[in-house]
Structure 1
Amino acid sequence: MTERTFVMVKPDGVQRGLVGEIVGRLEDRGLKMVGGKLMQIDRDLAEEHYGEHEDKPFFDDLVGFITSGPVMAMVWEGQDAVQQVRTMMGETDPAESAPGTIRGDFGLDLGRNVIHGSDTEPGSNEREIDLFFDEAELIHYERVDEQWLYE
């Protein structure tokens, strides 16, 4: 099933120059970027994005970190895109992530794990996409290699 998912290279990934590597991995997997922008998240957007964690003791640290520098916000499209990205990212804690995953290769600390992707909770991907992108910012196109990716 073709779907869209939200992916964000966090401030540590941007500062470490990993945006190109991460984009390349997602493209190599056959996913298609349909939206992307380098941005600075303000506190209001960060609090809304992490709203599910509002009552947890680490909430302020999450908001503080995600607003500490620029992020690369993206929307990716492809067959089972949410699960594909989740698998490619690895576990939330990089220490538990397998080599070959983005967090397994680049993450060093639970609080500095390089990347965020929509979870598999139904509707989570659409909610996050809507938080960061207007529909007019998303591009509809066919990649020339799509006929070679899917039956």
Structure 2
Amino acid sequence: MRHDADGALLLQPRPGLGGYAGDVSPQLAWQWVQAGDAVMVDVRTDAEREWVGFVPGALPVAWKQWPGMAPNPDFDQAVRAAASDRKLVLLCRSGVRSVAAAKRATELGLEAYNILEGFEGDPDADAHRGRRGGWRFHGLPWRQN
């Protein structure tokens, strides 16, 4: 389960399920980034960041790239460079790709966390995102081109 079941703010990381440091709420991730304790890496595609929105200051390192969703051959090198001896908080659309990316970053020897709910959160009953959690839903900084 990617979300805190009762909707409570997670003030501490939750242990990761298999192969990465853990899961953090969007709010905790933002606290860490603001304090300089973590680097945010946005693992969504270039198209998602361009069309849907982005977090100012987050480093764009796609896990998979549009079109075709092929793995990014530069991911390892880029995420190593991004870490610069700080933990990583990884953001995707809903908190799924960022788990895979956090696992890979951990394999590379980095301390990597998944941001729960992602940028847009899970779809609601009408299949619309942005109404059930996510970075934007919580009113955290973001921009759109």
Calculate the TM-score normalised by the size of structure 1. 0.25
**Which fold has the larger relative contact order, with Cα–Cα distance below 8 Å and residues 6 or more apart in sequence?**
1
Query: Between Structure 1 and Structure 2, whose CA radius of gyration is higher?
Result: 1
Which one has the bigger helix percentage?
1
Calculate the TM-score normalised by the size of structure 2. 0.25
